[in-house]
Structure 1
Amino acid sequence: MEIARGTDLPDLLASLGYTVTRIGRYYSTKEMDSLRIKNRRTWYRYSERVGGDAITFLQHFCGRSFPEAVEDLLAFHGRARDAPAERSRQTEQAPEPPKPFALPPRHTDARRVYAYLKKRGVSPQIIRSFISAGLLYEDSEHHNCVFVGYDRDGKAAFASLRGTYDRDGSGFKGDAAGSDKSIGFRLPYAPDSRTVYVFEAPIDLMSYCTLHREFHSNALALCCLDDRALSVFLREHPTVRKVVLCLDHDRPGQEAAERMGRKYAAEGYVVQTLSPPSRKDWNAYLTFVQQFRERGR
């Protein structure tokens, strides 16, 4: 169990796609604000009254068995199963090379993904269109949403995973091993559009499409607050000259929008910031609008 006690939880969670924040002496995440990480080694989630170490985190939030969680941590640390717990720097072996990218196995249907996204307010038409375009499917092992990102040659190079079981709206989020974060999640390129809309998460992009049924433009989800995917997209498509930043309407999202806005304006792009009229993000705004409409009936 030395590997569990020695795992730096903020680093592990960041590698899983969580947005780690520091609050005084503790760490938390943007996705689960009731989570507290103490001494960078142990966690506790007050909303569920559960806690533990790195292994229990992977079991509880990522659906991993105990052996699978151990394997994940060994891979995270770049160590083999039979490696000794402690080695001197002189004898320590080089970390294993990163795993090659591979999409999770596909389930025979997408019923759980469909039900989950419909519960989040995304229209059935939008869900079907994403599935038909090969942008979305359900994985066979954990029944996660798999949002597939393709490079400019049409080859799958990135996959964002979203759990379909949310106890309190904060389910599992992560990327498939070997994912290229500089690709992100993109809609198919629209050559007649000189604008790209930029979101934090694929579900926010789908929510925007639900709110604006006639939406036709280039769009991508960063799946973080790093703009590498946007930079690569603009370099690959030089005719795109306008960037619309549709990031979350919270402090991290707005700070990122300001940072990206300055950067791309200095590079000669027309930059617009577009926030949801209310609520934290586009999905939260979509569900608010739908609830408001239901009450008005």
Structure 2
Amino acid sequence: MKYVAEELIEKLRDIPIQDVASSMGYHVVKKGRFYSLKEHDSVMIDPQKNKYVRYSSDGSSKSVFDFLIEFGNMDFIGAVNYLNNNYIGEAQISRFKEVKEEKNYSGKLELPRKSTNMRNTFAYLIKTRCLSVDLIKSLANKGYIYQDEEHKNVVFVAYEVKDGIKQPVFANLKGTNEQYPYKRDVPGSDYNRCFFLDYKSDTLFITEAIIDALSVMSMQGDDAFKWNYLALTGVTKTSSINYWLDNNNIKNIILGLDRDKYGMKATEQIKEMIEQKRPDINVEIIQCEEGFKDFNEELVYKVKRNIPIHKIERKKEQVVELANPFRSRTR
């Protein structure tokens, strides 16, 4: 096992929580000498101590690592990677990929109780996120998507077949109210798997978010099931890629991470990691169109304006050079 240097941890611990929150897309609000979040007004950040409390929870004082774990859908090692890669840059993702998770869940993955209907889930995925009706119905019928009973969240589930028995190994929750963003992995999820869809293809398409993977599938139409898909639910959970690198059936990997500085940096690091471990695999980088952050943003923009959506093809001219700048687009 590898251990993260304590000196690095102490450096990372001092990175201002309000800066991290802002970089994650939260709206930071000044309240006297404290900060709060527009999306979570029960959060109070003390910039002098660099601690935060969440009064709607247990009200205990927590660190920047806890913030990323609670609000960034990360484990401890993911939080270390995120802070290091984006603020200090002393190490690469590969330095931490063999570190065991700090959280160790003794029990098996326990999925939230299913709701008797899918109204909120279907409305969110199809109307708000503009995903294919047929695709969502197909995945729901196979148990990859359902709605939880208590909070009406979307539940995304990945399965593994062992001894002929299909069992869940990873689950992610996504809130259906866009005004109050909510996402988290279900405790007990296996980060050596993350969210994957295995269609016995020799090509693996990797995205950051599950909805991005489903957006690619929606764009593909009848060809939605010609590739395997892996959604990392972040940019730091790279151990799940190693699982596929150990699968000799994989000949091609398409990296389709976000078209922002974090996604681009992670893309470079993941590409290098794959090339070191499996130089025989063809690695391509295919991102959303210029001007968009991710595939779902592109999909929603086009669907709501009746703009034709073209299938993603593995062609050389579509491979994006990471050094290219990207322009903003008026929407």
Q: 1:139 to 1:29 in 2, by over 3 A?
A: farther
Q: 1:114 to 1:71 in 2, by over 3 A?
A: farther
Identity of aligned residues (%): 24
Task: Report 1:23-34 matches (<5 A).
Answer: 26-28=19-21, 30-34=23-27
| Residue 232 of structure 1: aligned partner | 243
Q: Would you say the 8 A contact 1:102–1:178 is kept in 2?
A: yes
Unpaired runs of at least 5, structure 2? 1-8, 10-14, 45-51, 67-101, 309-331
Q: Would you say the 8 A contact 1:26–1:37 is kept in 2?
A: no
Secondary structure of 1:212 counterpart = helix
| Residue 299 of structure 2: aligned partner | 286
Tell me, in whole angstroms, the C-alpha distance in 2 between the residues paired with 1:281 and 1:219.
16
Tell me, in whole angstroms, the C-alpha distance in 1 between the residues paired with 2:53 and 2:293.
29
Tell me, in whole angstroms, the C-alpha distance in 1 between the residues paired with 2:155 and 2:262.
25
Given residue 54 of structure 2, which amino acid in structure 1 is its aligned partner?
I
Unpaired runs of at least 5, structure 1? 1-10, 12-21, 60-68, 77-94
TM-score scaled to structure 1, two decimals?
0.71
Tell me, in whole angstroms, the C-alpha distance in 1 between the residues paired with 2:58 and 2:17.
30
TM-score scaled to structure 2, two decimals?
0.64
CA RMSD of aligned residues (A): 3.3
| Residue 148 of structure 1: aligned partner | 157
Out of 150, 158, 162, which is 2:174 matched to?
162
Secondary structure of 1:26 counterpart = helix
Q: 1:37 to 1:157 in 2, by over 3 A?
A: farther
Deviations 1:138-169 (A, max 9, x none): 111111111102235332011011001111xx
Does residue 194 of structure 1 match 2:187? no
Secondary structure of 1:161 counterpart = strand
Q: 1:197 to 1:117 in 2, by over 3 A?
A: same
| Residue 222 of structure 1: aligned partner | 232
Task: Report 1:101-250 matches (<5 A).
Answer: 101-118=109-126, 119-153=128-162, 154-167=166-179, 171-187=181-197, 189-191=198-200, 193-213=201-221, 214-215=223-224, 216-225=226-235, 226-235=237-246, 237-250=247-260
Out of 255, 272, 287, which is 2:284 matched to?
272
Does residue 44 of structure 1 match 2:53? no
Q: CA deviation at 1:241?
A: 1.6
Given residue 139 of structure 2, which amino acid in structure 1 is its aligned partner?
F
Q: CA deviation at 1:35?
A: 3.6
Given residue 122 of structure 1, which amino acid in structure 2 is its aligned partner?
L
Q: 1:162 to 1:195 in 2, by over 3 A?
A: same
Tell me, in whole angstroms, the C-alpha distance in 1 between the residues paired with 2:134 and 2:25.
30
Q: Would you say the 8 A contact 2:115–2:147 is kept in 1?
A: yes
Deviations 1:269-290 (A, max 9, x none): 2100110013001110101111
Task: Report 1:246-257 matches (<5 A).
Answer: 246-257=256-267
